[in-house]
Amino acid sequence: MLKYYPQFPLSAAGGSAFGGSSVPARGGPACGWGRKTMACVYVLRSKRNNKRYVGCTSRDVQERFAEHNNGSSQWTSLNGPFELVYVQEYCDIKEAKELEKFLKSGQGRQCLDEFGI
C-alpha cells in the first residue's frame, strides 16, 4: 500500500529546498493544482527480499511501477515483485534528480530507514 509522507526533510542534501510533495503524480499541489507534474521520485520495496529501489521518472509513475514489476531490467527481474511505498512529485526534473541522487547515498538511505520507507 502506498504511504503518503510529508515532504522529505532534505536539508542534509546540500541545503537545497526541495519543493516536491508526496502525492500521486497527476498535477497535485507540488506544481499547483491543474499543472502537470514534470517528474517523480519513487521508492519500491521488494516483496521477495525486502530490498529497496529508488528511481526517478518523467513518465507516469504507475506505468513505470508496472514496468518494474514486469522485470524491465535485470535487477528488477531478479528482485520483484515490488510494492510502491513512496512517491514525491516535482515540477522541475533537476530537483527530482537531486533527490534521487541523495536517496541513493548513505545519508539518504539512512533517512529512508528513519522514516520506515
97 lies in some domain: yes
Tens digit of pLDDT for each residue in 34-56? 566 689 999 999 999 999 999 99
Q: Is residue 22 part of a domain?
A: no
- Quick check: is 86 in a domain? yes
Count of helix runs (H) and strand runs (E) in the chain:
4, 3
Distance between CA atoms of residues 7 and 76, nearest Å: 27
Q: Residue 106's pLDDT is what?
A: 94
Q: Quickly state the pLDDT bin for 9 (edges 50, 70, 90).
A: very low
- Whether residue 98 is contained in a domain is answered as yes
- Which residues neighbour 82 within 8 Å (Cβ) at sequence distance 6 or greater? 44, 45, 46, 47, 53, 65, 68, 69, 76
Split into its structural domains, the chain has a count of: 1
Q: How far apart are CA 101 and CA 105, in angstroms?
A: 7
Residue 87: pLDDT over 50? yes
What's the mean per-residue pLDDT of the chain?
A: 78
Confidence category of residue 2, pLDDT binned at 50, 70, 90: very low
Residues in the chain: 117
Looking at residue 63, which CATH number applies to its domain? 3.40.1440
Query: Residue 16: inside a domain, yes or no?
Result: no
Structural domain harbouring 109: 29-114
